[in-house]
Structure 1
Amino acid sequence: MILLWLLVILLTLMVLALLVWPLLRHGGQAAPDRASYDLTVYRDQLGEIDRDVARGLLSPDQAESARLEIQRRMLGAAGSGAAGDVAPSVAPTTVPALTLSRPASLIGIGILLPLGALAVYLMLGSPGLPGQPHAERIAREEQRLMASLPAAVRDRIASLSEAVEADPDDVGLWLQLGRVHRVAEQHDKAVEALERARALGPVGAEKAAVLAELAESLIMTHDGAITERIRALFVETLRAAPGDPRARFYLGVAAVQAGDPVKAIAIWRDLAMTSAADASWMPMLRQNMGMVAEENGIAPASVTPLHPLRIEAGEAVTRRDVPAPGEEEEEGAAAPASDRPRAGADAARAPGQGLSADDRAMIEGMVEGLAARLEDDPDDAEGWQRLARSYRVMGRLDEAAEAMGRAAALRPDDVAVLLAHADALIAAARAKGATEPPEAVYDVFEAVLKQQPDNPNALYFVGRAAAESGAFDRARELWSRLLALIPPDEPAHASVRQQRDALPRADAPAGAETEEP
């Protein structure tokens, strides 16, 4: 509070100085001599007449007439300047240092202005409100967030926090604390705990678990972006546990973000080949591989599977025109666990599988508690998004789509939420074996297109819906706009162009195909 008043006084003095200084600065200064100024102007005019004669703009007679007129005015100005007592309006004057009005102005500015400002603050402000230091506000916000968590999660965080204080060299305790913070979506705290675990130098399976958890938590703090440091952590995870499915999956995502979809598919096909058909990560793997392949016009079976460590060692990703026999069915049709190595070895489990029974029960309880709270507070859009993400991690894709739909209904103008809803609907459909998106997806993308006319996904899916309904002109127009956004050398450009050119025209013979630029 003292600092506030010191700042108020300082600012007041600075404003007063700016306002009062002009009044003091001009005190006692002589006003300019009007006659001298006029004579200077007339001399310039005489010089201008000579220049106009030289340029041929005035004849000699015109120039002489103008000179006489200017000389007459000069004589008049000189006479006025000499007779100051006769023409006081143009005689030199002296501004008094302080007239009766100037002290009043200074008093008004120096005293009444600050008093008036203070009176307004006392009426409209809150001088009695206690200070709110930044650290205290952060602490109160953290307390509020903790209070919103289910009691089981709060108790687990409290017990693990006490445990690591009692035994700060226990890697397992720091790992568990980081996982619980992740479940509570306290990702900064999760990173802090997992960094502590990593600093203790875990080895083997424990090292792989710590590195994978840390990398995934960092993804959340970077809004889903996989930075070079995060990618390096996943590579380090694989060096400790080459079969870790989480690291292999996210390295494929990193390849997509880096603009290399073929590399991503090679990594994901390798993961699919070494995974059991009923592995918990297979639905998400199929969904992502299918979306990337479709968006980029790639046949997954044409890409040779390759482990990320082999790529890191310099082995090139290759493609072939004709897939090997039987490889078209490899994704989702993995051999029994007894016939091939499991991707999730002891050191490499799927997300959540490394949790104890108590931790899994805690997570399920937190999700159910969040769902119950949202039934009482159905207008919490953020809560519905959190619930959708939790359901998706647990593999409950239908419920995830429904929860994200509730969030989208509350935020119909938020394109990110609408796109997340569409993605959840597609994931739920593909998990059931559907090859076509559900009808609701097209409605969502129609809403996206109204807000973002150049959104590539919206242009494609709305165009697809138009084509299926027979609105070929609209489909052609939307896909033409989409082609303008895709670089010509991208595989997706050729795929979309082929679909557009296959659309029939009203004036074309049945079965005829058209070609557009």
Structure 2
Amino acid sequence: AKNPADSSVEELVARAEAHLAANPSDGRGWDVLAPVYLRMQRFSDAVTAYRNAIRLDGDSAARQAGLGEAIASAAGGIVSADAQAAFEAALKLDPANPKASFYLAMGMAQEGRTEEATAGWQKMLAALPQDSAWRGAVEQALAESARQNVASGVPAKGPDAANVDAASSMSPQDREAMINTMVAGLAEKLRQNPRDAEGWMQLIRSYVVLGKADQARDALNRGIAVFGSDSDEAKKFTAFAVSLGLTATE
């Protein structure tokens, strides 16, 4: 009987959840609740709500982009294959969807495809209205990408800022030795925890950067072997390697 205007967000969400428990096929209810879950950082609940809204009320760019954001947020910000598929579905429905464009570029950056990510963000920035809420996020992403480019050749997620500063003043030989040490450390971590998909992509990229194509190919094949040749991870590894000019061996 309480006026909704006098209710807290938690009370309104609880009321919506009670309604959906009694009416689980109310697509509009799920559609309303999904972005609220997202803002409340209830990411797995948001994934479920977006999937229900899409199943019951059909596809829309906003729903697919929201689903992708929820999946990525639940994974700590990593744009997985599932999240990528949702963002790509959103762009098919609305090629100008900013959320989908932003996160797809972020996924490229996470895979070490920095130039493609930068190009994506720059294209997005050129098309955004001046008053768009996305401009700040894109500008920040481009600034971070440029900072990482300054330290090109240093493996992504490897050294911290102090390492990068030190590397810039090293001789080429010392710099390569430092990178080799970090790569060896990463290889050892993967030996202890082989089911780290992001780690395998980082190792592959690191060997390519060092000009060690044979070791990069060996890392690619070992990563594929860990997850199985038919796995989503194996497909992702192979596509990532191809983007670096590397192919797997039988």
Provide TM-score, normalisation by structure 1. Answer: 0.30
- Report how far residue 243 of structure 1 moved: 0.8
Q: Of the two, which has the highest radius of gyration? A: 1
Q: CA, structure 1 residues 456+489, in 2 after alignment: closer, same or farther (shift >3 Å)?
A: farther
Aligned-pair CA distance for 1:167:
4.3
Confirm whether residue 216 of structure 1 aligns to residue 69 of structure 2: yes
Matched, 1:153 2:16: no
Compute the displacement of 1:294 (Å).
2.9
Instruction: Report the CA distance shift for 1:476/1:258 in structure 2 as closer, same or farther (over 3 A).
Output: closer
Partner of 2:95: 242
> Which residue pairs with 1:170 in the alignment?
26
Alignment of 1:195-214 (within 5 A): 195-203=51-59, 207-214=60-67
Q: How many residues align?
A: 172
Q: Deviations over 1:229-262 (max 9, x none)?
A: 2101100001111111000000001111222111
Bigger relative contact order, structure 1 or 2 (CA pairs below 8 A, ≥6 apart): 2
Contact preservation (8 Å) 2:31, 2:49: yes
Deviation at 1:456, TM superposition (A): 3.8
- Over the aligned positions, Cα root-mean-square deviation in angstroms equals 2.9
1:275 aligns with one of 106, 114, 128: 128
The answer as to whether partners of 1:234 and 1:251 remain within 8 angstroms in 2 is yes
**1:489, distance to aligned residue in structure 2 (A):** 5.9
Q: Check whether the contact 1:456–1:482 (CA below 8 A) recurs between aligned residues.
A: no
Structure 2 counterpart SS, 1:223: coil
CA distance in 2, matches of 1:460, 1:297: 9
In 1: Cα distance, 2:105 partner to 2:162 partner: 24
| Residues 456 and 156 (structure 1), Cα distance of their counterparts in 2 relative to 1, 3 Å cut | same
Cα offset, 1:274, TM superposition: 0.6
- Cα distance between partner residues in 1 of 2:83 and 2:39: 20
Give the conservation status (yes or no) of the 8 Å contact 1:153–1:184.
no
Look up the equivalent residue of 1:269 and give its one-letter code. Answer: Q
User: How far is 1:201 from its partner?
Assistant: 4.0
C-alpha contact 2:71 2:82 (8 A) present in aligned 1? no
Task: Report Cα offsets for 1:324-346 as digits up to 9, x if no partner.
Answer: xxxxxxxxxxxxxxxxxxxxxxx
* Corresponding residue SS for 2:8: helix
Cα-to-partner distance string for 1:341-385 (whole Å, 9 max, x where unaligned): xxxxxxxxxxxxxxxxxxxxxxxxxxxxxxxxxxxxxxxxxxxxx
Q: 1:272 to 1:166 in 2, by over 3 A?
A: same
1:285 aligned partner: 138
Q: Does 2:180 match 1:180?
A: no
> Secondary structure, in 3 states, of the residue corresponding to 1:200?
helix
**1:412 aligned residue:** none
Question: Residues 152 and 458 from structure 1, CA distance in 2 versus in 1: closer, same or farther, beyond 3 angstroms?
Answer: farther
Match of 1:393 in 2: none
Q: Which residue of 2 aligns with 1:455?
A: 159
Contact kept in structure 1, 2:108 and 2:117, CA below 8 Å: yes
**How much has 1:196 moved relative to structure 2?**
1.0
Gap change, CA 1:215 and 1:254, over 3 Å in 2:
same
Secondary structure in structure 1 of the residue aligned to 2:96: coil
Counterpart CA distance in 1 for 2:115 and 2:104 is 12
Identity among equivalent pairs (%): 23
Paired letter, 2:69: E
How far apart, CA to CA, are the structure 2 residues paired with 1:208 and 1:163?
26
Structure-to-structure mapping, 1:337-486, within 5 angstroms? 455-461=159-165, 463=166, 475-476=169-170, 480=175, 483-484=179-180, 485=182
CA 1:457/1:221 → structure 2, altered by over 3 Å: closer, same or farther?
same
CA distance in 2, matches of 1:266, 1:248: 11
Shift of 1:488: 8.0
For residues 247-258 of structure 1, the aligned pairs below 5 Å read 247-258=100-111
- CA drift at 1:157: 0.9
Residue 195 of structure 1 deviates from its aligned partner by 1.4
1:294 to 124, 147, 165: 147
Please tell me the residue identity of whatever aligns with 1:183. Answer: R
Deviation at 1:490, TM superposition (A): 4.3
Structure having the larger proportion of residues in helix: 2
| Corresponding residue SS for 2:147 | helix
Counterparts of 2:52 and 2:150 in 1: how far apart (Å)? 44
Q: TM-score, normalised by structure 2?
A: 0.60
Distance in 2 (alpha carbons) for counterparts of 1:482 and 1:270? 35
CA contact (8 A) 2:28 2:57 kept: no
Distance 1:239 1:230 in 2: 14
**TM-superposed deviation, 1:278:** 2.8
Contact in 2 for aligned 1:156/1:180 (Cα 8 Å):
no
Secondary structure of 1:225's match?
coil
Asked if the contact 2:61/2:93 (under 8 Å) is kept, the reply is yes
**One-letter amino acid of the structure 1 residue matched with residue 164 of structure 2:** Y
